Structure 1
Amino acid sequence: MSVQEPLRIRKALLAGVVALALTGTGVAIAWSATDSPSPSPSDSAPGKPDKAQRPQHLHSESVVKKADGTFETVLNQQGAVESVSESSVTVKSEDGFTQSYAVNADTRIIKFPAPAADGSPAKGDDGKRLKPAEVAIGEIATGESVRVSGVRNGDSVTAKRIVEGLGTGPGLGLGKGMGKGLGKGHGHGLGKPKDRGTDG
């Protein structure tokens, strides 16, 4: 190799570095290589947050387009039962928002078994975990935590589903309204149970 070839290579490299510097790309590369801290293992793979630290969706109202092309205003709320009767339930969320819902024969009311004294899921005599059950409105008492999904018609709202018990825990959210299944947390709604485990 002649003496001139290394000079040509050096000139080409120098021209490339100058071009990068002029465009700012070189500066960005140099900055990222020297100044940005490398993420620690704890930063790149954080543990799952405690359920109590997850955001809680207290109430929402949205308009949905149904399969037949009509529109429906859907309300979802999580809170404590303020009053209840055979024909209505009033729920108050932590932020003070209060809504009354009409209850009729089409309202599905789902109750989760109360947990054991140590906080573990309730189990039957056979040792199996108890499943949520559909109950009458009389099983819902004042002060209990519930999630309600209802449909607005003018000034009145009719409850389509009321879920009481473990399905209302922190971080479980309201789901997406009228989904199928009780869901396993965010985004599965309060729909019909499909003979499977709980929402917790």
Structure 2
Amino acid sequence: MTLAAQAIGLTACGPVDVSNSLNPEASALTALGFTSDDLSAGKLTDPGPSASPDANSAPGAAAKQRRAGALRLRRALGRNVEHGEVVVQTKQGDKTIDVQRGTVTAIDDTSVTVKSADGFTQTWVFGKPLRVIEHRTTIQANAVKVGTEIGVAGAKDGSTVTANLIVIPLPK
């Protein structure tokens, strides 16, 4: 368990391949292994495949390759994280963010209940604002159905967790 916790902790170290404009919830889901494509609603074009950079082609290319390798490792570790809590530093001070990956077991107009693969179940109150992204498109929360696999992130205050971001990942 300690080794797993250390590995998960390492996944959050160093630069992450996300825009600085992402909110803390999006950053937390990215650390869990969700890709920037999963989080980008309204993206109209697919960047397509890119060639691997040659370490000798330009200054800094080797560093870019190392960062890309570290990002792949973070994503591989992150895809195995089922739920957790992180504290992130924001301009307004520290903010506790809960994250969870799992299956929707119940949903109504005010909340969603998610069950992770290990059996952990959490009910999330819908925040204002709430952003729900499915296949890179923003949708309404009432479009999410029981049985859907999601990632959810939001602020924790005491025992209340508030969903600010729900992501239905791209098919694998």
Length-normalised TM-score, structure 1: 0.45
Instruction: Give the letter for the 2:130 counterpart.
Output: T
Structure 1 residues 152 and 135: CA distance shift in structure 2, 3 A = same
Q: Does 1:71 align with 2:94?
A: yes
Please list, as runs of the form range in 1=range in 2, the aligned pairs for 1:19-98 lying within 5 A after superposition: 56-68=80-92, 70-98=93-121
Structure 2 match to 1:148: 152
Bigger strand share = 2
> Kindly, what percent of the aligned residue pairs are identical?
32
Report how far residue 104 of structure 1 moved: 3.4
Q: Is the 8 A contact 2:131 2:164 kept in 1?
A: yes
Q: Is the 8 A contact 2:128 2:164 kept in 1?
A: no
Structure 1 match to 2:142: 138
Instruction: Give the letter for the 1:143 counterpart.
Output: G
Deviating 4+ runs (over 3 angstroms): 51-55
Aligned-residue Cα RMSD (Å) equals: 2.6
- What residue ranges of structure 1 are gaps of 5+ in the alignment? 1-47, 113-131, 170-200
Report how far residue 53 of structure 1 moved: 10
Q: Which has the higher contact order (CA 8 A, sep 6+)?
A: 2
Report how far residue 146 of structure 1 moved: 0.1
Q: How many residues align?
A: 100
Report how far residue 56 of structure 1 moved: 1.3
Q: Distance in 1 between matches of 2:78 and 2:158?
A: 34
Q: Distance in 2 between matches of 1:140 and 1:92?
A: 15
Q: Distance in 1 between matches of 2:78 and 2:100?
A: 17
Instruction: Give the letter for the 1:164 counterpart.
Output: I
Q: Distance in 1 between matches of 2:127 and 2:105?
A: 18
Structure 2 match to 1:103: 126
